[in-house]
């Protein structure tokens, strides 16, 4: 079985401050890990993904996430946030468990204040 836990439901932060959104997962099989972002009144869109290889992955808009196998974590970070980063962020895990399965976390709402 697979599960995803996002430890914070809401994260308020001031503009230009660093932020970390936490994600822990559990799985009995090898997994792929994802972060999706949902802007207001839109669908989810892929932000970044970990497949294999380097444990640090980056997105085009300055976010990065590090896969930590020993801690079963995939935390999302950005060194300096912008107002436009205000959105909900979902961590997800995919694995083959006799069938295709992707599990989404409950989401973390990032609110960037001026």
Partner 1 sequence: DAGVIQSPRHEVTEMGQEVTLRCKPISGHDYLFWYRQTMMRGLELLIYFNNNVPIDDSGMPEDRFSAKMPNASFSTLKIQPSEPRDSAVYFCASSLRFGEGTTGEQYFGPGTRLTVT
- The smaller minimum CB distance to partner 1, of residues 17 and 56, is found at 56
Contact pick of 28, 30, 99, 114 for partner 1 (by CB under 8 A): 99
Q: How far is the CB of 14 from partner 1 (least distance, A)?
A: 25
Burial of 63 from C-beta contacts in 10 A (0-12 / 13-18 / 19+): buried
Token pair, residue 33, equals 């890990």
At a CB cut-off of 8 Å and minimum separation 6, what does 79 contact?
A: 18, 62
Establish if 96 lies at the interface with partner 1 (CB under 8 A).
yes
Q: How far is the CB of 110 from partner 1 (least distance, A)?
A: 16
């Amino acid at each position: 079985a697979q599960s995803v836990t996002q430890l914070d439901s809401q994260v308020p932060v001031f503009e230009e401050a660093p932020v970390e959104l936490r994600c822990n997962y559990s799985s009995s099989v090898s997994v792929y890990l994802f972060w999706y972002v949902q802007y207001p009144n839109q669908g989810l869109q892929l932000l970044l993904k970990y497949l294999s290889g380097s444990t640090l992955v980056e997105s085009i808009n300055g976010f990065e996430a590090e896969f930590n196998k020993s801690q079963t974590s995939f935390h999302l970070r950005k060194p300096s946030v912008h107002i436009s980063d205000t959105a909900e962020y979902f961590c997800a895990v995919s694995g083959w468990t006799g069938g295709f399965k992707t599990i989404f976390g409950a989401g973390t709402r990032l609110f960037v204040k001026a």
